[in-house]
Structure 1
Amino acid sequence: MKSYEVNFDGLVGPTHNYGGLSYGNVASQSNSQQSSNPKEAALQGLAKMKALMDMGFQQGMLAPQERPDVAALRRLGFAGSDAQVIQRAAKEAMPLLVASCSASSMWVANAATVSPSADTADGRVHFTAANLNCKYHRSIEHPTTSRVLGAMFADQQHFAHHAALPAVAQFGDEGAANHTRFCRAYGEAGVEFFVFGRSAFDSRYPSPQKYPARQTLEASRAVARLHGLSEEGVVYAQQNPAVIDQGVFHNDVIAVGNGEVLFYHEDAFLDTDRMLAELGDKIAKVGGKFQPVCVPRSAVTVDDAVRSYLFNSQLLSRADGSMLLIVPEECRGNERVWNYLQGLTGSGGVIREVKVFDLKQSMQNGGGPACLRLRVALNETELAAVNPGVIMTAPLYESLTQWVERHYRDRMTENDLADPQLLLECRSALDELTQILKLGAVYPFQIN
């Protein structure tokens, strides 16, 4: 039976704005308060999805969230009609309104952690929605994320869904941005690689001094237990606290893995040699041959990596066994990074080609190609059980492009977020989107 790694990309929402909400994310903070272009952002994301589909990769999508989140504002004491809630929040607590309007759910690498059926005890694909409790604007996402994932992967014979972990600092969980999987083939048993920034209960693990470590060891272990993963099928590694303090807020900003390959920066991890040895040993036990590709700091600095998002790329397996690296335009604009990539693809190694995509709207808010996608390994039977409305096709691409053109603004500032009309526009757009994607009622305004 054939198996695939399907990339489900997040569709950028109608309220895409540069709120500068993510402390520790250099791009997010440095572009705070600039004018954004939601329409361009959504079309850039759709163009990437369509391009990968045209290259022969299986491609799906995740719907955005309802924003502004009026229910969240009500929980914080703002009362009245929806319009009055928005207007009062704008007058009394603009930062809370900005947070309630964030379109950060577009970065679905943070939506959940996914374990394929070949790894789990019950032979189903397991999903755990990430609590994202390090940042308020992201912590309000997981209830809708769970409903959307449930509507996409509804067949309980093949899919199992877990609620987000307790929303406390000790179990901070950022989803697949700190998780990858190594395997010889997607349908075979693999080794799941969990990267954490700190331990909540064990003082032996150091913590960063400037920026928060968002993922805890305890959260990673809890997800592995929920998914029924075996001890031999899991490796835990700590992210280097020094690189977190340089703006590497998730592991997918400093490393990316696929198949038997780990593409990583020399300074990405603590105790790197031990971690590589453990990965190599466990991958060998499931029939694979581990291939680490280390980018030396002498060629690319951590600052280069953060500014270019070299490692926030998609590493994709092609039919001939080689790999394709999908990078943002910012990589071509960084001389050291681009020189390194030219040498890498010309060296005869496993990464043979680089393709560049313009994702400027997402990049300016701190998310690149890897942030925009959630990887789900599926066999043919499981893929057939996925809601077909969310699998990218040429007609769906055309429908979504037209939908964006109808519903999205081409300019968004902080002042625009205070317009109650924006909520009505967003709800109208999402109501139509759920019909296009055949999701049913997944948004609060459709349920309540």
Structure 2
Amino acid sequence: MKQFEVNFDGLVGPTHNYAGLSFGNVASLSNASASSSPKQAAIQGLEKMKALSDMGMVQGVLAPQERPDIYALRRLGFTGSDARVLEEAAKHAPAIFRACCSASSMWTANAATVSPSADTADGKVHFTPANLTNKYHRSLEPEVTGRILKGTFADSKHFSHHTHLPDNEHFGDEGAANHTRLCSEYGKPGVEIFVYGRYAFDDSKSAPQKYPARQTFEASQAIARLHGLSDENVVYIQQNPDVIDQGVFHNDVISVGNQNVLFYHEQAFANTDNALAEIRQKFEGDELHFIRVDTSAVSVQEAVKTYLFNTQIITLPNGEMAIIAPTECRDSEAVSNYLDSLVTLNTPIKQVHYFDVKQSMRNGGGPACLRLRVALNEQELTAVNQNTLINDAQFERLHKWIEKHYRDELKEDDLRDPQLLIESRTALDELTQILKIGSVYPFQREV
């Protein structure tokens, strides 16, 4: 049976803005309060999806969250009309207000952890939304994320959906940003690699000192149990605490994997040799490529600045692998020189394609942040909501939708504008009809 890895990219929402909310994310903090371009951001993301589809990849799209989150503000004591809630929150609790306006759901690598049917005990594809407890603005997402995933992967014969882990820092879960999978073929059993930053129940273990470790060992274990994974196809690796303190807030900022390739920086992991030895032992297949980037070639700072590892590695229909990189990688002498040499080496990676995703990069996320990877067989792909897959017609439909509903520019002060909330809800209501995912937003579910 034919196998696919489908990239489901998050569609950038109508209220895309730079609030600088993510402590530990250098790019996010450095662009705080700058004016954003929601229309440009959404089109950049959509064009990347279309380009991958044109390369022969199966490409999907996931709907954004509704922002501002009026319901969260009401839970925090703001009352009256929607306009009054926005006005009072912006005036009296500006930090909370900015958090409830976050545009971060565009980064669907944080949306959930996905295990393909080849790895799970019941032979289904398993989804667990990330609870994202480390940041309040992201902790607002899991419930709606779960509904969007269920609207996209609705067939219970093939797909199993779990509730996000308890909303507590002991089980801090950041989704696929700290999870990758290696395999000889997408449809064969693979090694699922969970990268954690700290132990929640053992303070004696090493942990970063400057920036928070967002993923716990205990959360990773819980996801593996929920998904019915066996010890034989799971490896737990601790992220290097020192590299977290250098601004590497997720593992996908310092390493990325695809099929039989693990592309990583030499400072990425703690106990690297032991971790790689365990991966090699559990990997089913003859050829496994560990591609290490030395600090002497690319510093951690340059890797974070350019998001060299927050790139996508995809397997093209001809069997070659390609790196999907932001243009910031091309514009860095050290990184572009490295990538130029990489494609000449004896590894499966033979191409590099550069994409302009600056609106995302300025908010702290590269191409890999924008997508959730879902390995599917033919039957499972047929069971996916076909309206969420990108083809020429759906690309044109979504492009027109963005042109119709999105603002060219958004300043921080615009977020309190009641008209923006109306515009956003109008757009999202229309989007759910285009994608046919049902009533996923709270404003659509009010009785």
- Give TM-score, length-normalised by structure 2: 0.99
* 1:114 has 2:124 as partner: no
Partner residue in 1 for 2:188 = 188
Letter in 1 for 2:386: P
Cα distance in 2 for partners of 1:378, 1:350 equals: 22
Partner residue in 1 for 2:51 = 51
> What is the correspondence of 1:203-242 to structure 2 with a 5 Å cutoff?
203-242=203-242
Partner residue in 2 for 1:390 = 388
Partner residue in 2 for 1:366 = 364
Instruction: Decide whether the 8 Å contact of 1:33 with 1:414 is kept in 2.
Output: yes
> What is the correspondence of 1:32-431 to structure 2 with a 5 Å cutoff?
32-283=32-283, 286-431=284-429
Letter in 2 for 1:37: S
Instruction: Decide whether the 8 Å contact of 2:289 with 2:347 is kept in 1.
Output: no
Cα distance in 1 for partners of 2:241, 2:127 equals: 28
CA offset digits 1:272-324 (Å, max 9, x no partner)? 000000000100xx235321000011000000000000000000112343210
Q: Secondary structure at the match of 2:194?
A: strand
Instruction: Decide whether the 8 Å contact of 1:279 with 1:290 is kept in 2.
Output: no
Q: Which moved more, 1:342-351 or 1:90-99?
A: 342-351
Letter in 2 for 1:11: L
1:97 is displaced (CA, Å) by: 1.4
1:424 is displaced (CA, Å) by: 0.4
- Equivalent residue pairs, number: 446
1:83 is displaced (CA, Å) by: 1.1
Cα distance in 2 for partners of 1:387, 1:68 equals: 27
Partner residue in 2 for 1:436 = 434
Structure 1 stretches (4+) deviating beyond 6 angstroms? none
Cα distance in 2 for partners of 1:288, 1:242 equals: 33
Which 5+ residue runs of structure 1 have no aligned equivalent? none
CA offset digits 1:386-434 (Å, max 9, x no partner)? 0011000100000100000010011111100010111100000000001
Letter in 2 for 1:219: A
CA offset digits 1:241-299 (Å, max 9, x no partner)? 1110111000000000000110000000000000000000100xx23532100001100
Q: Secondary structure at the match of 1:224?
A: helix
1:201 is displaced (CA, Å) by: 1.2
CA offset digits 1:210-242 (Å, max 9, x no partner)? 000000000000000000000001000000011
Q: Which moved more, 1:106-115 or 1:320-329?
A: 320-329
Q: Secondary structure at the match of 1:434?
A: helix
Instruction: Decide whether the 8 Å contact of 1:181 with 1:193 is kept in 2.
Output: yes
Cα distance in 2 for partners of 1:76, 1:223 equals: 30
Cα distance in 2 for partners of 1:323, 1:264 equals: 16
Letter in 2 for 1:426: S
Letter in 1 for 2:359: Q
1:109 is displaced (CA, Å) by: 0.2
Instruction: Decide whether the 8 Å contact of 1:6 with 1:57 is kept in 2.
Output: yes
Instruction: Decide whether the 8 Å contact of 2:57 with 2:317 is kept in 1.
Output: no
Instruction: Decide whether the 8 Å contact of 2:194 with 2:220 is kept in 1.
Output: yes
Cα distance in 2 for partners of 1:288, 1:4 equals: 21
CA offset digits 1:117-173 (Å, max 9, x no partner)? 010000000000000000000000001000000111111110000001001110000
Partner residue in 2 for 1:445 = 443
CA offset digits 1:333-384 (Å, max 9, x no partner)? 1111111111111224221110000000000000000000000000000000
Instruction: Decide whether the 8 Å contact of 2:22 with 2:135 is kept in 1.
Output: yes
Cα distance in 1 for partners of 2:103, 2:81 equals: 23
Q: Secondary structure at the match of 1:299?
A: coil
Cα distance in 1 for partners of 2:86, 2:286 equals: 54
Letter in 2 for 1:294: R
Letter in 2 for 1:216: T
Instruction: Decide whether the 8 Å contact of 1:280 with 1:289 is kept in 2.
Output: no
Cα distance in 2 for partners of 1:396, 1:319 equals: 22
Cα distance in 1 for partners of 2:56, 2:441 equals: 32
Cα distance in 1 for partners of 2:136, 2:149 equals: 21
Cα distance in 1 for partners of 2:244, 2:428 equals: 36
1:204 is displaced (CA, Å) by: 4.5
Instruction: Decide whether the 8 Å contact of 2:60 with 2:388 is kept in 1.
Output: yes
Q: Secondary structure at the match of 2:424?
A: helix
Q: Secondary structure at the match of 2:192?
A: strand
CA offset digits 1:79-132 (Å, max 9, x no partner)? 111111111101111111111111100000000000000100000000000000
Q: Secondary structure at the match of 1:67?
A: coil
Letter in 1 for 2:80: G
Cα distance in 1 for partners of 2:104, 2:392 equals: 26
Letter in 2 for 1:321: G
Instruction: Decide whether the 8 Å contact of 1:260 with 1:288 is kept in 2.
Output: no
Instruction: Decide whether the 8 Å contact of 2:184 with 2:285 is kept in 1.
Output: yes
1:203 is displaced (CA, Å) by: 3.4
Q: Secondary structure at the match of 1:42?
A: helix
Cα distance in 2 for partners of 1:290, 1:168 equals: 37
Cα distance in 1 for partners of 2:347, 2:298 equals: 18
Letter in 2 for 1:319: P
